[in-house]
């Protein structure tokens, strides 16, 4: 499995993705590859294509607190208004179309509060949300990914 944390750590809570990536890398979970970058770009499709599942971890300026975790399907439409960066769905679409690979995609959107300065630190709220996201994703990764949810169904 692959986890890509993306964002600019020099822009406050925009660094949530790389912060999560660093924390997961420190856990050294067997079978888990970790990468981080300022943004997703086309070459992440080649990396994604070499894995069975990919978690895209990013800061979210809106949405659920502390985080949202949801499936991402490949979508060419997601790059309709593309810029230098590509969306998670766009990365999956490129992995499919260029490298004939269909990794399972997940988006981990960690809620941030502060984005408009050049400090390299997370807000208090972002740190709390990061801790919650890390606890979840560690369990998820150690359970082997999607089978985490199967385990939940059995226990319920």
Partner 1 sequence: MATETAERKPTAKRIVIEPVTRVEGHGKVTILLDEQERVRQARLHIVEFRGFERYIRGRPYWEAPVLVQRLCGICPVSHHLAAAKAMDQVVGVDTLPPTAEKMRRLMHYGQMLQSHALHFFHLVSPDLLFGFDADPAIRNIVGVARKFPDLAVQGVMLRKYGQEIIKATAGKKIHGTGAIPGGINKNLSIAERDGFLKDLDQILAWSRGALKIARDYTMEHLKDLADFGSFESNHLSLIRADGAMDLYHGGLRAVGARGGKIFDHVDYRNYLDYIAEEVKPWSYMKFPFIKSLGPEKGWYRVGPLARLNTADFIDTPEAEAARKEFMALTKGKPNNVTMAYHWARMIELLHAAEKIRDLLHDADLQGTELRARGERRPVGIGLIEAPRGTLFHHYEVDENDQIARCNLIVSTTNNNTPMNRAVEKVAHDYLEGVQITEGLLNRIEVAIRAYDPCLSCATHAMGRMPLEVEIVGADGAVRARGGKGLYV
Catalog residues that contact partner 1 under the rule CB under 8 A: 7-14, 18, 36-39, 41-43, 45-46, 58-63, 76-87, 90, 93-94, 97-99, 109, 112, 115-120
Query: Residue 11, SS3?
Result: coil
From 119, 31, 104, 97, select the one nearest 72 (Cα to Cα).
104
8 Å CB contact between 7 and 18: yes
> CB of 132: closest distance to partner 1 in angstroms?
18
Residues 6+ apart with CB under 8 A from 124: none
| Nearest to partner 1 of 108, 141 (CB atom) | 108
> CB of 72: closest distance to partner 1 in angstroms?
12
| Nearest to partner 1 of 64, 144 (CB atom) | 64
> CB of 53: closest distance to partner 1 in angstroms?
20
Length, in residues, of the chain = 156
| Nearest to partner 1 of 17, 145 (CB atom) | 17
For 11, what's the count of Cα atoms within 13 Å in the CB-facing half-sphere?
A: 13
> CB of 73: closest distance to partner 1 in angstroms?
13
| Nearest to partner 1 of 107, 137 (CB atom) | 107
Backbone angles phi, psi at 110, to 5 degrees: -95, 125
């Amino acid at each position: 499995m692959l986890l890509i944390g993306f964002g600019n750590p020099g822009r406050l809570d925009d660094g949530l993705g790389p912060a999560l990536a660093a924390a997961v890398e420190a856990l050294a979970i067997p079978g888990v590859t970790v990468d981080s970058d300022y943004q997703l770009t086309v070459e992440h499709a080649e990396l994604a294509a070499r894995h069975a599942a990919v978690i895209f971890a990013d800061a979210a300026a809106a949405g659920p607190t502390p985080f949202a975790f949801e499936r991402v399907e490949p979508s060419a439409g997601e790059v309709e208004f593309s810029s230098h960066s590509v969306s998670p769905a766009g990365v999956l679409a490129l992995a499919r179309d260029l490298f004939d690979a269909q990794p399972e995609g997940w988006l981990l959107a960690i809620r941030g509060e502060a984005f408009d300065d050049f400090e390299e630190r997370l807000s208090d709220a972002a740190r709390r949300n990061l801790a919650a996201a890390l606890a979840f994703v560690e369990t998820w990764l150690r359970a082997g990914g999607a089978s985490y949810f199967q385990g939940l169904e059995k226990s319920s």
